[in-house]
Structure 1
Amino acid sequence: MKLQLHTDIFKAFFTLGLTAFGGPVAHIAYFRQAFVENRRWLSDEDFTQLLAVSQTLPGPASSQLGFAIGLYRGGILGAINAFIAFTLPSALALILFATYVVAIASPLKDTVLHGLQLVALPVVADAVWKMSRQLCPDLNRRIIAGLSLLFLLLMPFSFSQFIVMGFGAIAGLYLLQPNTTSQTFSLNLPYGKKTASLFFTLFLMLFFIPFLNIDQPLFHFITIFYQAGATVFGGGHVVLPLLENKIVFTGLISSEQFLAGYGAAQAVPGPLFTISAYLGALLPGESGGVTGAIVSLCTLFLPGFLLILAVLPFWQSLQNNAVIQKSLLGINAAMVGLLAAALYQPIWQHVINSYADIIIALTGFILLNVFRLSPVVIVLWCLAGSIITSLL
């Protein structure tokens, strides 16, 4: 019975991992159709509560929602099963891309990589536009986002993101108002508050483990991806500047490789966080390759999953806490400024080399934002534009 249960979980999420194009918002719609309407694994009310938790916490919201649905259906093993199945297709595709495309030497390769780098500009611009409308609907939150953007442009240091997050939390406490509607939460879980407290303790221990100062390259990479996954609010696009500061600015991989991977990640289904598999495969020395890909992938997702496990039993009280609500609203507004800063540096500065690049990127943004075409179409457009302009 349990074997059949976990087989069903794997099949359902693996199918979604192969077909779920369109980013986290689309993933949520796919999940609701698959698990509420078609399979009836959970009610609409329970789905909405799990969605609220995943959107509140740092980490990849759609993957956290899938993890929570797997938890609801099959316990902790079901949650892990759901994560593996949903992530596997895109992770394998990006590992192959890192191994066989980025590594080859060819004039066409440079043109293709530049086309993939161009994808980042319209996609991130679209994300900034949509997030600003959703997360900054009032003047106070726009001010928080604008000041965060200005600070990051003037102070582009690796620690600046954490200053901005702290600023957002404090500003939210004083400037924003919480949701006054009381929420109820009655989800049945396979564990209680004591076990949840252990998960939160593990989350904190892993976050502060860099202070042990262990001199091992792979350990250093683990801390980079774990801390990025633990502090990213606002979805997969926001992880771009967090990882870029630690991986590109330190010379582990080039900016061109980084942005090419980001572009390639738009062409595959599943979560954007699987870019970590691509980055891990490109890490130098023995820390890279398949080992680096698997370790980087797991450590970027891990903190978000630990937080889901830790918070669910306490969600009833947390979601009605005014201080937490206001701080999270402020942090989310600051994350809009963070992503807007990344749109200029590194993306614009490293990608735009000519007026033709501007035209390609602007057209891609219009196709994505105005005509609402799939990101896959944007990838094909940028690749075609890059190849055509290279021949002129």
Structure 2
Amino acid sequence: MAETRAHDRSSAWSVFVIFLRLGLTSFGGPIAHLGYFREEFITRRRWLSERSYADLVALCQFLPGPASSQVGMALGLSRAGYRGALAAWAGFTLPSALVLILFALGMSRYGSLLSPGALHGLKVVAVAVVAQAVWGMARNLCTDSLRVTLMLIAACAVLLEPSAWAQVGVIGVAGVAGLLLFKPAQIDAHDPLPITVSRRAGALWLLLFVTLLVGLPLLNALMPNQTLAVVNAFYRTGSLVFGGGHVVLPLLQAEVVPSGWVGNETFLAGYGAAQAVPGPLFTFAAFLGASMNVAPSGWIGGMIALLAIFAPSFLLILGAAPFWERLRRNARAQAALIGVNAAVVGLLLAALYQPVWTSAILTVQDFALALVALVALMFWKLPPWLVVLGCGVAGWLLSPG
């Protein structure tokens, strides 16, 4: 038994080291991350078969949350159990989270030294990044007129009622619409996932996920507390993000900007900066937590927000893995997901207009810079960090005075 525990610790450490290297070098967003994982763990290390990896990606795309981070957690889980899942998450996530917290602290302490034009350039690049995400997701998830219609309805609904609960309601209604309107294609053959979590343990993890999702708002209503309110907001956001990391933008904006926790200018500047760092986009939460105008903020606020937004992903991976064999064959669940995915493209489309476009595109020069950034990302295939840096410099050069 002692030898087994020592081996688990050794395996977890090796998992951490591998994912730390990926967390320091994996630029390009979630699709690129999945490619890095495939090269590292399937082609090079042969931890899984191609079919198992494809099935694992399908599971993580089915669940709410950041798909690439969840795939990483599941890979660590398959290699070294619970410790491996935590090690994979820490290695892949902490580098970008620490950089973004430092950026937030620098903005709060030395913001007067930063060029307003450079900060505006970061807001402009967010327009290009979100536009690219909308286009890419629409091509993959809205492939017929019915899905495009769902996308349009969702976008209009959240533009007319821009609240966090309206967005949750849109996702729920879209799931019901998908259940009624779509008939998924036949599921292909696959290999079983090499994850040894019992069904009983999985059920307990899922119960904990639901308990926190329902219980945190109730607890915060009964015992109002700022830290609890932050945990509740970021946990709920992490629980409801379908379709990719960029969808976190409208959900987080609805939580932190209207409440006055983070100013809209700071929010968009941080979102632009988040494109320039490797690792998962969800580490934007660390920036927001560190930028809070109320306590907790700084390092403590950043880590609280980071842990709260990733907690649902961890619980869902542990809870869903034992039931995936049955769930993947459930046509009703697959149909509901089709509707949800179409709706989240609509949420992101609405966010592209408000707050991203309305806050960043104020002049003809802003529009021209956003257009150049979009072409650089989509057609010239420049790395995102270089586009972000270029927009920051351009914003500084174009600023008056």
Q: What displacement does 1:185 show?
A: 4.8
Distance 1:50 1:60 in 2: 13
Identity %: 44
Which residue is 1:304 aligned to?
313
Q: What displacement does 1:367 show?
A: 1.0
Which of 344, 348, 353 in structure 1 is aligned with 2:357? 348
Would you say the 8 A contact 2:197–2:318 is kept in 1?
Answer: no
Would you say the 8 A contact 1:197–1:310 is kept in 2?
Answer: yes
Which residue is 1:25 aligned to?
31
Which residue is 1:165 aligned to?
171
Aligned: 1:111 with 2:120: no
Which residue is 1:42 aligned to?
48
Aligned: 1:194 with 2:209: no
Q: TM-score, normalised by structure 2?
A: 0.95
Counterparts of 1:354-365 in structure 2 under 5 Å?
354-365=363-374
Would you say the 8 A contact 1:140–1:176 is kept in 2?
Answer: no
Residue identity in the other structure for 2:232 = T
Which residue is 1:69 aligned to?
75
Which of 174, 177, 191 in structure 1 is aligned with 2:180? 174
Would you say the 8 A contact 2:241–2:248 is kept in 1?
Answer: yes
Distance 1:329 1:51 in 2: 16
Distance 1:341 1:315 in 2: 32
- Stretches of structure 1 that go unaligned for 5 or more consecutive residues are none
Which residue is 2:218 aligned to?
211
Distance 2:8 2:193 in 1: 21
* Aligned length, in residue pairs: 392
Which residue is 2:339 aligned to?
330
Counterparts of 1:229-378 in structure 2 under 5 Å?
229-378=238-387
Q: What displacement does 1:167 show?
A: 2.1
Which residue is 1:12 aligned to?
18
Give the secondary structure class of the aligned counterpart of 2:295.
helix
Which residue is 2:131 aligned to?
125
Instruction: Label 1:265 to 1:275 Cα distance change in 2 as closer, same or farther (>3 A).
Output: same
Distance 2:334 2:278 in 1: 32
1:261-286 C-alpha deviation (Å, 9 max, x unpaired): 10110000000000111111112343
- Stretches of structure 2 that go unaligned for 5 or more consecutive residues are 1-6
Give the secondary structure class of the aligned counterpart of 2:192.
coil
Instruction: Label 1:178 to 1:105 Cα distance change in 2 as closer, same or farther (>3 A).
Output: closer
Give the secondary structure class of the aligned counterpart of 2:34.
helix
1:282-317 C-alpha deviation (Å, 9 max, x unpaired): 123431111111110011011012111111111011
Distance 2:212 2:114 in 1: 42
Would you say the 8 A contact 1:183–1:320 is kept in 2?
Answer: no
| Structure 1 outlier segments of 4+, above 4 Å | 182-185
Give the secondary structure class of the aligned counterpart of 1:59.
coil
Residue identity in the other structure for 1:229 = G
Distance 2:264 2:376 in 1: 26
Which of 59, 69, 73 in structure 2 is aligned with 1:53? 59
1:149-207 C-alpha deviation (Å, 9 max, x unpaired): 12222222332211211221121112212122354452232321000000000000110
Which of 369, 391, 396 in structure 2 is aligned with 1:382? 391
Which residue is 1:82 aligned to?
88
Would you say the 8 A contact 1:112–1:386 is kept in 2?
Answer: yes
Name whichever of 1-10 and 291-300 sits farther off.
1-10
